[in-house]
């Protein structure tokens, strides 16, 4: 009989092996899913794990998808390590895109070449303001940040639709709900010529290094982690929980808003109703698969971007629903939660005694 036996301390090996086992389980369950739909598992899994990396162009698109995921996940990891549950990064991403688009639409013919910097800063400000609403309500009224941040996602989407269907709608856009294409001076400079990869990918990597330095090499980062792991000890040490709340939420909102700015002023080049692509929610999985560590999240962001691209390819080439992306994301998350049991418990085999053995033992 198999049983779980508590460990004296968390397993270091399974801390890193658990995500790999979860990925293997996800692939196995995905194969079973493809077989149930009459599709070859090899052909189905190749859409998710081979097609996104088989060429230079495919790799460039992988970076395009991974950039917003990594930026948002970096900000969320600060919140989660501080025991602050910001679930509304999607809304902060959307508001960052709206603020960035608003500044981009104000550009004129004679605007200077560095105008895109103001677009990016506006996006960051939009995300911080939206996250600040959650921080204010939590700080002032002790409102639950999970519910507040999540509900604000829907508010941000309504504001987006109001703008693209209303005052910001391109009069020359054949009645499509979208703004005009942004001027060249507002668009994010390309990092690799001939691709859609912009400098946002480089800044995301720099952000991972900066976050590592902040969390593990500064007093403020140490205070945030102590507040998340042991709130009573943090209060005893004189660390301000209020300061931690505002710091974590503003960093998280700023990162999400920055991702939104890079998205609309980069690959999209305009504001559309399709800006909310689910990056904010997928970044939660990225953060936990990456163990809330900056460099681990770089790898998990690449993995999650493969799921996004694989879902699009499965839709166009195999005729499968696009929701398959969410299925794979969910499989990975639940597999990880199950495998994380091995961090604190080990599996033991205990033989069930036979009736004769039990009778002998009782005598």
Domain-wise residue ranges, the chain? 62-301
d(CA 40, CA 30): 11
pLDDT value at residue 192? 87
Closest to 22 measured CA to CA, from 290, 302, 284: 290
Q: What are phi and psi of 8, to 5 degrees?
A: -70, -30
pLDDT (average), residues 27-31: 93
Mean pLDDT, all residues of the chain = 91
The model's pLDDT over 312-363, given as tens digits with 9 standing for 90+, comes to 999 989 888 888 888 999 999 899 989 999 888 988 887 666 655 555 555 5
The model's pLDDT over 191-203, given as tens digits with 9 standing for 90+, comes to 888 889 999 999 9
- 14-23, 124-133, 226-235, 339-348: range with lowest mean pLDDT: 226-235
4: three-class secondary structure by DSSP: strand
d(CA 186, CA 219): 37
What six digits make up the tokens of 271? Answer: 């504001």
pLDDT (average), residues 18-22: 92
Residue with tokens 């904010």: 280
What six digits make up the tokens of 310? Answer: 């694989």
The crossing angle, in degrees rounded to 10, of helices 115-141 and 89-105 is 140
The model's pLDDT over 73-124, given as tens digits with 9 standing for 90+, comes to 999 999 999 999 999 999 999 999 999 999 999 988 788 888 999 999 999 9
pLDDT (average), residues 37-56: 92
- 167-176, 243-252, 327-336, 344-353: range with lowest mean pLDDT: 344-353
User: Residue 81: enclosing H or E segment and its boundaries?
Assistant: helix 56-81
What six digits make up the tokens of 143? Answer: 């409102």
């Amino acid at each position: 009989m198999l049983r779980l036996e508590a460990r004296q301390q968390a397993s270091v090996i399974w801390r890193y092996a658990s995500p790999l086992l979860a990925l293997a389980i996800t692939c196995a369950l995905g194969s079973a899913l493809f077989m149930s739909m009459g599709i070859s598992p090899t052909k189905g899994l190749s859409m998710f794990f081979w097609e996104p990396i088989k060429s230079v162009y495919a790799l460039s698109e992988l970076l395009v998808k991974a950039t917003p995921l990594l930026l948002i996940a970096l900000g969320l990891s600060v919140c989660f390590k501080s025991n602050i549950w910001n679930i509304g990064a999607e809304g902060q991403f959307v508001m960052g895109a709206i603020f960035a688009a608003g500044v981009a639409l104000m550009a004129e013919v004679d605007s200077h070449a560095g105008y895109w910097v103001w677009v990016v800063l506006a996006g960051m400000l939009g995300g911080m303001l939206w996250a600040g609403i959650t921080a204010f309500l939590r700080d002032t009224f002790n409102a639950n940040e999970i519910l507040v941040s999540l509900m604000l996602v829907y508010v941000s989407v309504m504001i987006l639709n109001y703008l693209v269907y209303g005052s910001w709608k391109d009069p020359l856009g054949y009645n499509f709900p979208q703004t005009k294409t942004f001027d060249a001076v507002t668009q994010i400079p390309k990092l690799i010529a001939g691709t859609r990869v912009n400098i946002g990918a480089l800044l995301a990597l720099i952000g991972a290094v900066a976050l590592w330095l902040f969390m593990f090499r500064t007093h403020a980062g140490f205070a945030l982690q102590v507040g998340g792991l042991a709130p009573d000890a943090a209060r005893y040490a004189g660390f301000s929980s209020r300061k931690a709340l505002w710091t974590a939420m503003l960093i998280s909102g700023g990162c999400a808003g920055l991702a939104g700015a890079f998205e609309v002023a980069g690959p999209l080049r305009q504001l559309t109703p399709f800006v909310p692509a689910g990056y904010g929610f997928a970044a939660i999985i990225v953060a936990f698969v990456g163990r809330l560590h900056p460099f681990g999240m770089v790898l998990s962001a690449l993995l999650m971007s493969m799921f996004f691209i694989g879902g699009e390819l499965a839709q166009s080439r195999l005729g499968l629903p696009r929701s398959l992306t969410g299925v794979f994301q969910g499989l990975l998350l639940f597999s990880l939660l199950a495998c994380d049991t091995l961090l604190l418990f080990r599996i033991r085999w205990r033989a069930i005694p036979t009736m004769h053995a039990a009778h002998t033992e009782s005598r």
